[in-house]
Protein backbone atom coordinates (compact mmCIF):
# COMPACT_ATOMS: atom_id res chain seq x y z
CA UNK A 1 0.00 0.00 0.00
CA UNK A 2 1.58 3.35 -1.01
CA UNK A 3 2.21 5.98 1.67
CA UNK A 4 0.27 8.64 -0.19
CA UNK A 5 -3.03 7.27 -1.37
CA UNK A 6 -4.96 8.64 -4.29
CA UNK A 7 -8.57 8.01 -5.12
CA UNK A 8 -10.63 8.54 -8.24
CA UNK A 9 -14.39 9.01 -8.05
CA UNK A 10 -16.22 8.34 -11.34
CA UNK A 11 -19.63 10.00 -11.74
CA UNK A 12 -21.63 9.53 -14.99
CA UNK A 13 -24.02 12.40 -15.77
CA UNK A 14 -26.98 12.64 -18.11
CA UNK A 15 -29.45 15.51 -17.66
CA UNK A 16 -28.62 15.86 -13.97
CA UNK A 17 -28.71 19.65 -13.63
CA UNK A 18 -30.94 19.40 -10.55
CA UNK A 19 -28.50 17.28 -8.52
CA UNK A 20 -24.97 18.16 -9.66
CA UNK A 21 -24.16 20.85 -7.12
CA UNK A 22 -25.44 18.82 -4.17
CA UNK A 23 -23.69 15.71 -5.46
CA UNK A 24 -20.42 17.62 -5.84
CA UNK A 25 -20.73 19.09 -2.34
CA UNK A 26 -21.38 15.74 -0.65
CA UNK A 27 -18.65 13.98 -2.62
CA UNK A 28 -16.15 16.70 -1.63
CA UNK A 29 -17.11 16.36 2.03
CA UNK A 30 -16.79 12.57 1.89
CA UNK A 31 -13.43 12.60 0.13
CA UNK A 32 -11.99 15.39 2.31
CA UNK A 33 -12.55 13.11 5.29
CA UNK A 34 -10.31 10.45 3.72
CA UNK A 35 -6.52 10.40 3.82
CA UNK A 36 -4.62 11.10 0.62
CA UNK A 37 -5.39 13.06 -2.51
CA UNK A 38 -8.28 12.43 -4.85
CA UNK A 39 -9.86 13.40 -8.14
CA UNK A 40 -13.50 13.63 -9.11
CA UNK A 41 -14.23 12.59 -12.69
CA UNK A 42 -17.59 13.78 -13.98
CA UNK A 43 -18.59 12.36 -17.36
CA UNK A 44 -21.19 14.38 -19.24
CA UNK A 45 -22.93 11.78 -21.40
CA UNK A 46 -24.30 14.18 -24.01
CA UNK A 47 -26.73 15.95 -21.67
CA UNK A 48 -29.37 18.17 -23.23
CA UNK A 49 -29.99 20.40 -20.21
CA UNK A 50 -27.58 22.65 -18.28
CA UNK A 51 -25.55 19.77 -16.88
CA UNK A 52 -22.49 20.62 -18.96
CA UNK A 53 -22.56 24.31 -18.05
CA UNK A 54 -22.88 23.63 -14.34
CA UNK A 55 -20.18 20.99 -14.13
CA UNK A 56 -17.74 23.07 -16.22
CA UNK A 57 -18.32 26.05 -13.92
CA UNK A 58 -17.56 23.87 -10.90
CA UNK A 59 -14.37 22.63 -12.56
CA UNK A 60 -13.12 26.18 -13.04
CA UNK A 61 -12.86 26.60 -9.29
CA UNK A 62 -11.58 23.11 -8.42
CA UNK A 63 -8.54 21.50 -10.04
CA UNK A 64 -9.50 18.19 -8.43
CA UNK A 65 -12.63 18.06 -10.59
CA UNK A 66 -12.02 16.57 -14.03
CA UNK A 67 -14.73 16.73 -16.68
CA UNK A 68 -15.10 14.51 -19.72
CA UNK A 69 -17.68 15.60 -22.26
CA UNK A 70 -18.99 13.06 -24.77
CA UNK A 71 -19.70 14.11 -28.34
CA UNK A 72 -23.21 12.67 -27.92
CA UNK A 73 -25.17 10.40 -25.63
CA UNK A 74 -23.46 6.98 -25.58
CA UNK A 75 -25.11 5.52 -22.48
CA UNK A 76 -24.50 4.79 -18.82
CA UNK A 77 -22.10 1.86 -19.23
CA UNK A 78 -19.85 3.69 -21.75
CA UNK A 79 -19.76 6.68 -19.38
CA UNK A 80 -18.62 4.48 -16.50
CA UNK A 81 -16.05 2.84 -18.77
CA UNK A 82 -14.67 6.23 -19.87
CA UNK A 83 -14.29 7.30 -16.26
CA UNK A 84 -12.45 4.11 -15.34
CA UNK A 85 -10.21 4.44 -18.41
CA UNK A 86 -9.17 7.95 -17.36
CA UNK A 87 -8.96 7.33 -13.60
CA UNK A 88 -5.48 7.65 -12.10
CA UNK A 89 -6.16 6.67 -8.52
CA UNK A 90 -4.98 3.60 -6.63
CA UNK A 91 -8.65 2.99 -5.87
CA UNK A 92 -11.55 3.96 -8.12
CA UNK A 93 -15.06 4.57 -6.80
CA UNK A 94 -18.03 4.49 -9.19
CA UNK A 95 -21.18 6.26 -8.05
CA UNK A 96 -24.26 7.76 -9.74
CA UNK A 97 -25.08 11.43 -9.34
CA UNK A 98 -28.67 10.99 -8.13
CA UNK A 99 -27.51 10.52 -4.49
CA UNK A 100 -29.57 7.38 -4.01
CA UNK A 101 -26.23 5.77 -3.22
CA UNK A 102 -24.92 7.98 -0.37
CA UNK A 103 -21.36 9.33 -0.82
CA UNK A 104 -20.92 9.06 2.95
CA UNK A 105 -20.47 5.29 2.48
CA UNK A 106 -17.24 5.84 0.50
CA UNK A 107 -14.94 6.15 3.57
CA UNK A 108 -16.28 2.79 4.80
CA UNK A 109 -15.50 1.25 1.41
CA UNK A 110 -11.99 2.67 1.58
CA UNK A 111 -11.45 1.08 5.00
CA UNK A 112 -12.47 -2.30 3.55
CA UNK A 113 -10.04 -1.72 0.67
CA UNK A 114 -7.22 -1.00 3.10
CA UNK A 115 -7.95 -4.34 4.76
CA UNK A 116 -7.09 -6.11 1.52
CA UNK A 117 -10.34 -6.31 -0.46
CA UNK A 118 -9.89 -5.41 -4.11
CA UNK A 119 -13.59 -4.93 -4.89
CA UNK A 120 -15.96 -3.36 -2.38
CA UNK A 121 -19.53 -3.04 -3.61
CA UNK A 122 -22.50 -1.35 -2.01
CA UNK A 123 -25.38 -3.69 -1.18
CA UNK A 124 -28.87 -2.26 -0.73
CA UNK A 125 -30.70 -3.60 2.32
CA UNK A 126 -33.68 -1.29 1.78
CA UNK A 127 -34.90 1.00 -1.01
CA UNK A 128 -36.74 4.18 -0.08
CA UNK A 129 -39.21 5.98 -2.32
CA UNK A 130 -39.63 3.16 -4.85
CA UNK A 131 -42.90 1.60 -5.94
CA UNK A 132 -43.77 -2.01 -5.21
CA UNK A 133 -43.46 -2.75 -8.94
CA UNK A 134 -39.96 -1.24 -9.07
CA UNK A 135 -38.83 -3.26 -6.06
CA UNK A 136 -40.35 -6.48 -7.43
CA UNK A 137 -38.91 -5.99 -10.93
CA UNK A 138 -35.49 -5.21 -9.47
CA UNK A 139 -35.59 -8.35 -7.33
CA UNK A 140 -36.64 -10.48 -10.31
CA UNK A 141 -33.94 -8.85 -12.42
CA UNK A 142 -31.10 -9.93 -10.15
CA UNK A 143 -32.48 -13.42 -9.44
CA UNK A 144 -33.18 -14.13 -13.11
CA UNK A 145 -29.75 -12.84 -14.04
CA UNK A 146 -28.09 -15.22 -11.60
CA UNK A 147 -30.19 -18.13 -12.85
CA UNK A 148 -29.39 -17.43 -16.49
CA UNK A 149 -25.75 -16.38 -16.38
CA UNK A 150 -22.62 -18.45 -15.79
CA UNK A 151 -21.19 -15.88 -13.36
CA UNK A 152 -22.37 -15.50 -9.77
CA UNK A 153 -23.53 -11.90 -9.41
CA UNK A 154 -24.28 -10.41 -5.98
CA UNK A 155 -27.97 -9.52 -5.64
CA UNK A 156 -29.29 -6.04 -4.81
CA UNK A 157 -26.04 -4.49 -6.01
CA UNK A 158 -25.70 -1.71 -8.58
CA UNK A 159 -22.69 0.09 -10.02
CA UNK A 160 -21.79 1.76 -6.70
CA UNK A 161 -18.47 0.16 -5.79
CA UNK A 162 -14.77 0.62 -5.14
CA UNK A 163 -12.24 -1.05 -7.43
CA UNK A 164 -8.54 -1.55 -6.80
CA UNK A 165 -6.07 -0.38 -9.45
CA UNK A 166 -5.29 -3.97 -10.50
CA UNK A 167 -9.01 -4.58 -11.13
CA UNK A 168 -9.23 -1.39 -13.19
CA UNK A 169 -6.20 -2.39 -15.26
CA UNK A 170 -7.73 -5.82 -15.86
CA UNK A 171 -11.01 -4.29 -17.04
CA UNK A 172 -9.17 -1.85 -19.32
CA UNK A 173 -7.46 -4.82 -20.99
CA UNK A 174 -10.86 -6.28 -21.93
CA UNK A 175 -11.84 -4.71 -25.28
CA UNK A 176 -15.37 -6.06 -25.60
CA UNK A 177 -18.31 -3.81 -26.47
CA UNK A 178 -21.88 -3.92 -25.09
CA UNK A 179 -20.31 -3.97 -21.67
CA UNK A 180 -22.17 -4.87 -18.51
CA UNK A 181 -19.71 -3.50 -15.99
CA UNK A 182 -21.24 -5.15 -12.92
CA UNK A 183 -20.97 -8.54 -14.58
CA UNK A 184 -17.40 -7.93 -15.74
CA UNK A 185 -16.34 -7.00 -12.20
CA UNK A 186 -17.81 -10.26 -10.89
CA UNK A 187 -16.25 -12.22 -13.75
CA UNK A 188 -12.68 -11.01 -13.14
CA UNK A 189 -12.80 -12.22 -9.55
CA UNK A 190 -10.33 -10.87 -6.95
CA UNK A 191 -11.22 -10.49 -3.27
CA UNK A 192 -14.66 -8.93 -3.00
CA UNK A 193 -16.83 -7.85 -0.11
CA UNK A 194 -20.00 -5.84 0.48
CA UNK A 195 -20.86 -2.73 2.45
CA UNK A 196 -24.57 -2.60 3.28
CA UNK A 197 -26.57 0.62 3.15
CA UNK A 198 -30.11 1.95 2.79
CA UNK A 199 -30.77 3.32 -0.66
CA UNK A 200 -32.28 6.79 -0.44
CA UNK A 201 -34.86 8.43 -2.66
CA UNK A 202 -33.55 10.25 -5.70
CA UNK A 203 -32.48 13.74 -4.56
CA UNK A 204 -34.05 15.46 -7.58
CA UNK A 205 -34.78 14.89 -11.25
CA UNK A 206 -36.05 11.76 -12.95
CA UNK A 207 -34.70 8.24 -13.18
CA UNK A 208 -32.54 7.48 -16.21
CA UNK A 209 -33.42 3.78 -16.07
CA UNK A 210 -37.10 3.28 -16.93
CA UNK A 211 -38.50 -0.20 -17.54
CA UNK A 212 -37.46 -0.18 -21.21
CA UNK A 213 -33.81 0.46 -20.35
CA UNK A 214 -33.90 -2.05 -17.50
CA UNK A 215 -35.10 -4.73 -19.91
CA UNK A 216 -32.38 -3.76 -22.37
CA UNK A 217 -29.78 -3.97 -19.61
CA UNK A 218 -31.07 -7.40 -18.62
CA UNK A 219 -30.84 -8.69 -22.21
CA UNK A 220 -27.33 -7.25 -22.54
CA UNK A 221 -26.26 -8.85 -19.26
CA UNK A 222 -27.64 -12.30 -20.13
CA UNK A 223 -26.20 -12.37 -23.64
CA UNK A 224 -22.84 -11.14 -22.31
CA UNK A 225 -22.37 -13.92 -19.80
CA UNK A 226 -24.49 -16.88 -20.83
CA UNK A 227 -25.26 -19.22 -23.72
CA UNK A 228 -28.27 -20.63 -21.90
CA UNK A 229 -30.83 -18.84 -24.11
CA UNK A 230 -29.32 -20.56 -27.16
CA UNK A 231 -29.27 -23.89 -25.36
CA UNK A 232 -32.89 -23.45 -24.30
CA UNK A 233 -33.78 -22.61 -27.90
CA UNK A 234 -32.11 -25.83 -29.03
CA UNK A 235 -34.07 -27.92 -26.54
CA UNK A 236 -37.34 -26.18 -27.39
CA UNK A 237 -36.72 -26.75 -31.10
CA UNK A 238 -35.90 -30.40 -30.48
CA UNK A 239 -39.03 -30.90 -28.38
CA UNK A 240 -41.15 -29.22 -31.04
CA UNK A 241 -39.69 -31.45 -33.76
CA UNK A 242 -40.32 -34.62 -31.76
CA UNK A 243 -43.85 -33.50 -30.93
CA UNK A 244 -44.57 -32.68 -34.57
CA UNK A 245 -43.25 -36.09 -35.71
CA UNK A 246 -45.40 -37.90 -33.15
CA UNK A 247 -48.45 -35.93 -34.25
CA UNK A 248 -47.68 -36.77 -37.90
CA UNK A 249 -47.62 -40.49 -37.08
CA UNK A 250 -50.95 -40.10 -35.26
CA UNK A 251 -52.53 -38.38 -38.26
CA UNK A 252 -51.32 -41.09 -40.68
CA UNK A 253 -52.51 -43.94 -38.46
CA UNK A 254 -55.84 -42.21 -37.88
CA UNK A 255 -56.28 -41.65 -41.61
CA UNK A 256 -55.37 -45.17 -42.74
CA UNK A 257 -56.71 -47.45 -40.02
CA UNK A 258 -59.27 -45.71 -37.85
CA UNK A 259 -61.54 -43.03 -39.21
CA UNK A 260 -60.26 -42.89 -42.77
CA UNK A 261 -61.84 -39.43 -43.01
CA UNK A 262 -59.97 -36.52 -41.52
CA UNK A 263 -61.94 -34.30 -39.20
CA UNK A 264 -62.22 -30.77 -40.55
CA UNK A 265 -60.46 -28.52 -38.03
CA UNK A 266 -58.98 -25.51 -39.74
CA UNK A 267 -59.29 -23.32 -36.63
CA UNK A 268 -57.21 -25.66 -34.47
CA UNK A 269 -54.72 -26.13 -37.31
CA UNK A 270 -54.26 -22.39 -37.69
CA UNK A 271 -53.89 -22.00 -33.92
CA UNK A 272 -51.18 -24.67 -33.81
CA UNK A 273 -49.37 -23.09 -36.76
CA UNK A 274 -49.45 -19.66 -35.15
CA UNK A 275 -48.15 -21.08 -31.88
CA UNK A 276 -45.23 -22.91 -33.46
CA UNK A 277 -44.42 -20.02 -35.78
CA UNK A 278 -44.34 -17.73 -32.74
CA UNK A 279 -41.87 -20.06 -31.03
CA UNK A 280 -39.70 -20.09 -34.13
CA UNK A 281 -39.68 -16.29 -34.30
CA UNK A 282 -38.71 -16.06 -30.62
CA UNK A 283 -35.82 -18.43 -31.22
CA UNK A 284 -34.73 -16.40 -34.24
CA UNK A 285 -34.91 -13.28 -32.09
CA UNK A 286 -32.64 -14.85 -29.47
CA UNK A 287 -30.18 -15.85 -32.17
CA UNK A 288 -30.39 -12.32 -33.56
CA UNK A 289 -29.32 -10.88 -30.22
CA UNK A 290 -26.11 -12.91 -30.29
CA UNK A 291 -25.48 -12.23 -33.97
CA UNK A 292 -25.98 -8.52 -33.34
CA UNK A 293 -23.35 -8.61 -30.61
CA UNK A 294 -20.91 -10.28 -33.00
CA UNK A 295 -21.66 -7.56 -35.57
CA UNK A 296 -20.96 -4.82 -33.01
CA UNK A 297 -17.67 -6.42 -32.02
CA UNK A 298 -16.45 -6.71 -35.62
CA UNK A 299 -17.16 -3.07 -36.56
CA UNK A 300 -14.36 -1.85 -34.32
CA UNK A 301 -15.89 1.56 -33.65
CA UNK A 302 -14.87 3.35 -30.44
CA UNK A 303 -17.04 2.61 -27.43
CA UNK A 304 -17.34 6.33 -26.72
CA UNK A 305 -16.00 9.63 -28.07
CA UNK A 306 -14.73 12.36 -25.74
CA UNK A 307 -15.09 15.80 -27.32
CA UNK A 308 -13.56 17.80 -24.46
CA UNK A 309 -11.45 17.23 -21.35
CA UNK A 310 -11.30 19.78 -18.54
CA UNK A 311 -8.66 19.68 -15.78
CA UNK A 312 -7.37 16.40 -17.15
CA UNK A 313 -3.78 15.76 -18.19
CA UNK A 314 -2.75 12.27 -19.29
CA UNK A 315 0.80 12.95 -18.22
CA UNK A 316 -0.01 13.61 -14.60
Same domain, 139 and 283: no
280 with 306, same domain: the answer is no
The sheet that has 119-127: what strands, in order across it?
192-199, 119-127, 157-164, 91-94, 6-13, 37-44, 65-70, 306-310
Rounded to an integer, the average pLDDT of 266-287 is 68
Residues 137 and 263 in one domain: no
- Note whether 7 and 92 are within 8 A (CB): yes
Q: Tell me: pLDDT of 291 over 90.
A: no
Residue 46 pLDDT greater than 90, yes or no: no
Q: In total, how many domains does the chain have?
A: 2
The verdict on residue 316 lying in a domain is no
Above pLDDT 90, what percent of the chain? 8
Please give the residue that has the higher pLDDT: either 224 or 39: 39
pLDDT tens, residue by residue, 126-152:
766 566 666 676 667 667 666 766 677
Q: Are residues 203 and 234 in the same domain?
A: no
260 in any annotated domain: yes
Residue 219 lies in a domain: no
Model confidence at 20: pLDDT above 60: yes
Residue 79 has pLDDT above 50, yes or no: yes
Q: Where are the alpha helices (DSSP H) in the chain?
A: 20-32, 51-60, 76-86, 106-114, 132-148, 165-172, 181-188, 211-225, 228-253, 266-299
As a whole number of angstroms, the distance between CA 80 and CA 192 comes to 19
CB distance 186 to 152 below 8 Å? yes
Query: What is the rounded CA–CA span in Å between residue 72 and residue 46?
Result: 4
Domain span at 69: 6-210+301-310
Predicted confidence at residue 3, as pLDDT, reads 46
Task: Measure the CA–CA gap between 101 and 84, rounded to whole angstroms.
Answer: 18
DSSP conformational letter for 90: S
Residue 180 binned pLDDT confidence (cut-offs 50, 70, 90): confident
The answer, yes or no, to whether residue 1 has pLDDT greater than 50, is no
pLDDT value of residue 9: 92
**Do 172 and 284 sit in the same domain of this protein?**
no
Model confidence at 61: pLDDT above 90:
no
pLDDT of residue 40: 92
Find the CATH number of the domain harbouring 56.
Answer: 3.90.550.10
Determine the pLDDT at residue 18.
85
Residues 61 and 131 in one domain: yes
pLDDT value at 313 more than 80 = no
**What is residue 214's predicted lDDT score, i.e. its pLDDT?**
66
**190 and 145 together in one domain:** yes
Residue 131 lies in a domain: yes
Give the mean model confidence (pLDDT) for residues 58-80.
88
More confident position, 288 or 167 = 167
pTM for the full model? 0.70
pLDDT above 90 for 42: yes
pLDDT at residue 286 greater than cutoff 80: no
Which has more confidence, 216 or 264?
Answer: 216
Output the pLDDT for position 35. 84
Amino acid sequence: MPDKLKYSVVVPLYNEEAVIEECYKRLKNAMDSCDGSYELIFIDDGSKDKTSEIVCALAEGDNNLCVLRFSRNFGHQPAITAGMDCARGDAVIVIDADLQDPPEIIPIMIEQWKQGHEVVYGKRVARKGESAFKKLSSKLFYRTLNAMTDVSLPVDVGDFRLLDRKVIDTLKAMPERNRYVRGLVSWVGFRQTAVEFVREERFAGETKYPLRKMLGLAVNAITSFSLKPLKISTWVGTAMSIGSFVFLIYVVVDRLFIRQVMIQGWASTVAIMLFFNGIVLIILGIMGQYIGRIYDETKGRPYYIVSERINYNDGE
